[in-house]
Structure 1
Amino acid sequence: MKLTVDLTSPMPGRINQHGKVVTLAFVCTMMSNLMPSLASMDNKSLLANITALYILVITVIVNSFIQIRTHVIGPYPDSVGVDIPPMLLVVVACIYLVMLLFLLIILISSAITIPNHKENFRNKVSSH
């Protein structure tokens, strides 16, 4: 997570910038793998985990957007002779940011409905 949250070092190399974008992919993977375990949490731990995840994801999105706007993520100076278009890294980073936002919305809406569904299932099982 440090690569996407770090605003102090520009890290202008091609490998460093790819590392920042791959970290966004890791956060997307982490959020999608968290989804099945939401139902096994009790209400207090569900609230704590979703709140912590919300803070982390919003921080990553804002910091990555700042890095894109200040050209920390963008065309890198050692791209001479490389077949990758200069703005492709920015496009990929923006796609990951949109995916992060959608995953966050899905996780929060699921976390809101899970306690009610668990209570409904308990009531149906106890009535039979």
Structure 2
Amino acid sequence: MAHTTANEGSYRSLTDRHLHNRSTSAQTKVGMTRMDPVWEHGGMTQPEHREVLHRDGSLRGRGQMLDDEMHGYWEWFRLDGTIMRSGSFARGRQIGTWTTYDRAGAPHKETQYGD
């Protein structure tokens, strides 16, 4: 598996037009993690489950949004439904280790983003 390092990155441009708030019951599906509430400005903000769709309606990505920014663990999928990439966001910024998968779904490359 190849390893690379990247500066700050964002998937925001990929999803601005394609975000759909789906049922929060999907939060318990495989690969999703529960996000704890975040305290801001004297109040609590709760992350919401979101799904991004391909033009044909199939699942392109899923994860958590916090105040209209990707936050927490996300997974991205190809048109055929196989996983393409996974990793975490902190308020719209890619952080930690992101894994890219080959077409068979096996890990192909890891990229490290600053925390």
TM range (shorter): under 0.3
* Greater relative contact order, per chain length (Cα 8 Å cut-off, separation 6+): 1
Which structure: larger Rg? 1
Which has a greater percent of strand? 2
Which has a greater percent of helix? 1
